[in-house]
Structure 1
Amino acid sequence: MPLIFHLQKEEYELAAWKIDEDHSFFESRLQLSEEEKKFLQNIKALNKRLQWLASRHLIRVLLKTDLFIDSNYKQRGKPELLSHKKEISISHTDDVCAVIMSENKKVGIDIEPEYRDVTVIAHKYISEAEKLNREFTNEQNLFIWCAKEALFKLYAKGEVSFQNDLFVQLPELKTEGTAQTEIRKPDMNCTVTLQYNYLEDGYLLCWCCL
């Protein structure tokens, strides 16, 4: 089983899946609605289609079921499970996907390949207050990007300035740990303890629960 990370806590459960399988593996194990089939057909890039299928399969793994799962996307692109009363967040990139779900907490997750170079766009999402006149490495820039993506998904209402509405206090980066972050929106002004893990397969995983 290509689970490369799995964590179960009282408030949430999450997992990351290395996509080693082809389309037929997932299609034979999923029961898709007509709406989902149409949505899948509209995904032209084969790798994106495979990521979508893998993430739906991972949802079923976490729910421990082979039955049909009714899911949908709300406005702003937030996924929701219609057949299960759980909050959910999904992320996928390259050949990996990640899912986090909770019974009663808002959740957000993001996974990024460590090789991704975000240096040229860092000024668009990192504020001067976060930099404190420091020059960040690409590893630090990528961490802040991944953390803010997870916060953005937790907020799940769109219309967010990554530079002005989301704040990340950069920690000393280790294999795993936490970071203090903030969402600064009128309808959600709060501190969020974000967790992260550098997976052995070369991916950074960030998630949060509130």
Structure 2
Amino acid sequence: MAFSKIAKEYTIMPQLENEITQTRAWGLWKIEASEEDLKLSGGFAETIPAEIVHPEKRAEFFAVRALLHNLLQQLNLTYQGLTKDTFGKPSLRNYPHQVSLSHSYPYVTAIVDEHKPVGIDLEHFKPKLLRIAQRMFSQTEQADAGDNLIKNCIYWSAKEAMIKVYGKKDLVFAEHLLIEPFVLKQKGNLSGRIIANQKETIVSLKYTQYTDFVIVCSV
């Protein structure tokens, strides 16, 4: 019998929110632990790439893996590390489950699904998004978002989540990743389309606004 829950738990990092079912797990954490504590809480020794040197980026690397360790525990699985394909898409080592990660310091988020590709994106509300809308959004999307920073951020984050579902990087955001206009709410649903290889795939997404950022994920 399927079950779900939304809970706030005491962990090495404040777990702001999570949702767990028998086949899917999602979580949002805020980084407040030291790098050494994050390493210990990850449940698996991983070597950080040498090119990751900035303290915040290092913290994100270990924090999102600690979050994955926590989510997999709740699915009765053991975190054994991540691998990436040639497009940079992450996969769980030794499990068929699909995974997607996102981080923007001091927050990290991750989603795991047993059956289908997933995509998740966390974006802070940054004014620079207004400057790239003309290049990244269709005319319909631009007209709907206007100069509303939050709406622009949701459109952008939704496209990032969809390209993670797709798993490759050969798409043009304004032409191949399209989001239907929507009424802005604190939480809401989105309908997206991935147009690739002469095929159109419908992607259902949901978004949640927080104080200074938004999360969009596939459903």
Superposition TM-score, scaled by structure 2 size: 0.85
Match of 2:90 in 1: 79
Residue pair 1:111, 1:205 contacting (<8 A) in 2 also: yes
Q: How much identity, in percent, do the aligned residues show? A: 24
Aligned-partner Cα distance in 2 for 1:178–1:79? 25
Q: Is the 8 A contact 1:86 1:104 kept in 2?
A: yes
Q: Which residue of 1 aligns with 2:7?
A: none
Greater relative contact order (CA < 8 Å, ≥ 6 in sequence): 1
Unaligned runs of 5+ in 2: 1-9
Matching residue's letter, 2:59: L
Which aligned pairs between 1:117-132 and structure 2 lie closer than 5 A?
A: 117-132=128-143
8 Å CA contact retained: 1:167, 1:181: yes
The alignment partner of 1:77 has SS state of: coil
**Alignment RMSD:** 2.1
User: Residues 124 and 62 from structure 1, CA distance in 2 versus in 1: closer, same or farther, beyond 3 angstroms?
Assistant: same
* Cα distance in 2, alignment partners of residues 101 and 68 from structure 1: 12
Aligned match of 1:45? 54
8 Å Cα contact 2:121/2:157 also seen in 1? yes
Q: How does 1:20-169 map to 2 (within 5 A)?
A: 20-30=32-42, 32=44, 36-39=46-49, 41-64=50-73, 69-115=80-126, 117-132=128-143, 135-169=146-180
1:176 maps to 187
Aligned AA (2:69): R
Q: How many residues align?
A: 205
Amino acid at match of 1:81: L
Q: CA distance change for structure 1 residues 114 and 186 in 2, over 3 Å: closer, same or farther?
A: same
Pick closer, same or farther for the CA change 1:68–1:150 going to 2, 3 Å: closer
The offset of 1:188, in angstroms, is: 5.0
- Unpaired runs of 5+ residues, structure 1, are none
The yes-or-no answer on 1:19 pairing with 2:28 is no
AA in 2 matched with 1:24:
E
Q: TM-score, normalized by length of structure 1?
A: 0.89
